[in-house]
Amino acid sequence: MAEHRRGANLPSIGGFNRTVVLDAVRRSPDGLSRVELASRTGLSAQTVSNVTRFLIEAGMIAESGTIVSGRGKPRTILRLEAGSRYAVGVHVDPAVVTYVLLDLAGTVVASTTTSTPTADDPSEVVRTIGTAIDGLITEAQVDVDAVLGVGIASPGPIDVDAGVVLDPPFLPRWRDVPLRDALAEATGYPVLLEKDVTAAAVGEMFLAGESSARNFAFVYFGTGFGVGLVIDHEPVRGVGSNAGDAGHIMVDQGALAGTPDAAGTRGEVGAAVAPDRLVQIARSRGLSLGGDPRDVAAVDRAWDALAEAIDAGDPVAVGLAAEAGTVMGRAVVLIVNLLDIDRVVFGGPFWSRIASAALPAARQAIVDSPLLVPKHPVVVDESGRGADVAAVGAACLVLDAALSPRASALLIRR
């Protein structure tokens, strides 16, 4: 593994004004002139000049052509140098660990996967993940000093202060794994740990840029069902950073009720749409998907087969995906009512493979629900990040922490 060593904290680009300017440039793909930067940020022309000089010398922005607008001298355009810095995202899933490398623009420049270690030996977990991270960076031919840090998206519950994965229900052998600090020590990079649903919501917010919704719910469908929440442009983490467990919401299961086992018959959305249960239901309806539903890797392969059947227009597969979307949508209505939000985004490793049939059904279940209280339109769509959404979100945690303006940076420390 890497021999370089860094401090425990994410590297700072050096002050609030610098993050304000860099954030404005990042959100403007066509670039901005210094005059436009001053207008957008409210900073003085001299401050903008000083800050842009620093960012150019740091290689994070670059002068890129000029434009002529009205009278006066042409204005130089400043654009983001996306390849100047990078962030690593890691998603720990019961079946696989996914790794992505993002540049400053949030583009995935490299990715890989490994089998999920059993966590019987925490040191083996760190060794597997650390080696994969170093290999990802090396194969991408990225300078290790250009990597800002590593974000980890893990199933909850987690102890975010201690950086420990506690005892996720879908990872029964993972108990009190000190992932953050051990991985920081092994790789030499600063490491952030976040619950997977929150990481996905942060990624959606960070990458949406100017079009980011102020309030939205990210419905995360992986091995479990959860919801990442963003209110007033801030992710809702809760007291222990474990907000988002929505699987126990009681909901009308419709055609999914009572078959083929009793796990989902209590009316809980998470149990009703659990991928292993849906695979069993698909088989009971005559779909040949193969594999052992008790094995997470086999369920993942069966899900691929279900996705292929949906793409081929198989009515049983399409119908099952629509029923699952409907059940999830009914649960989401309660969240929309509770928070009065106007946007819902579906995503996650199991969602993306059934989305073509599940999304229209979920949308209809939400917007046409007789239980829906808010009178404003509710936009229901899916994430454009694909199955790697949690890993991408984990990398965005690093980019967001290092690059996004924080008003708290202006507070006087006593």
- 328-348 pLDDT tens trace: 999 999 999 999 999 999 999
Model pLDDT, residue 7: 35
Q: Per-residue confidence at 232, pLDDT binned at 50, 70, 90?
A: very high
Residue of 223 and 44 predicted with greater confidence? 44
Percent of the chain with pLDDT strictly greater than 70: 90
**CATH architecture, domain defined by 85-204+392-403:** 2-Layer Sandwich (3.30)
Q: Is the pLDDT of residue 10 over 70?
A: no
Model pLDDT, residue 412: 39
Q: Per-residue confidence at 364, pLDDT binned at 50, 70, 90?
A: very high
Model pLDDT, residue 172: 79
Lowest-confidence pick of 196-205, 263-272, 308-317, 345-354? 263-272
Q: What is the mean pLDDT of residues 122-151?
A: 93
Question: CA–CA separation, 143 vs 57, rounded Å?
Answer: 17
Using CA atoms in the order 289, 290, 292, 293, what is the torsion angle rounded to 10 degrees? 10
Q: What is the mean pLDDT of residues 159-179?
A: 88
Q: Where in the chain is the domain with CATH 3.30.420.40?
A: 85-204+392-403, 247-383
Q: What is the mean pLDDT of residues 204-223?
A: 86
E strands, 29-128, in order? 32-33, 61-67, 75-80, 86-92, 96-103, 108-115
Lowest-confidence pick of 124-128, 365-369, 380-384? 124-128
Token representation of residue 183: 């991985």
Q: Where in the chain is the domain with CATH 1.10.10.10?
A: 16-83
Token representation of residue 347: 């995503």
DSSP string for 198-242? HHHHHHHHHHHGGG--SSEEEEEESSSEEEEEEETTEE---TTS-
DSSP string for 261-293? SSTTTT-BHHHHT-HHHHHHHHHHTT----S-T
CATH of 247-383, one of 3.90.1150.10, 3.90.79.10, 3.20.20.120, 3.30.420.40: 3.30.420.40
Model pLDDT, residue 8: 40
Task: State the chain's mean pLDDT as an integer.
Answer: 88
Q: Is the pLDDT of residue 259 over 80?
A: no
Q: What is the mean pLDDT of residues 171-181?
A: 87
Domain 16-83: which topology?
Arc Repressor Mutant, subunit A (1.10.10)
Q: Is the pLDDT of residue 235 over 80?
A: yes
Model pLDDT, residue 264: 45
pTM assigned to the model: 0.89
Q: Is the pLDDT of residue 118 over 90?
A: no
- 64-73 pLDDT tens trace: 877 766 565 6
CA distances from 144 to 130, 159, 189 (A): 14, 28, 9
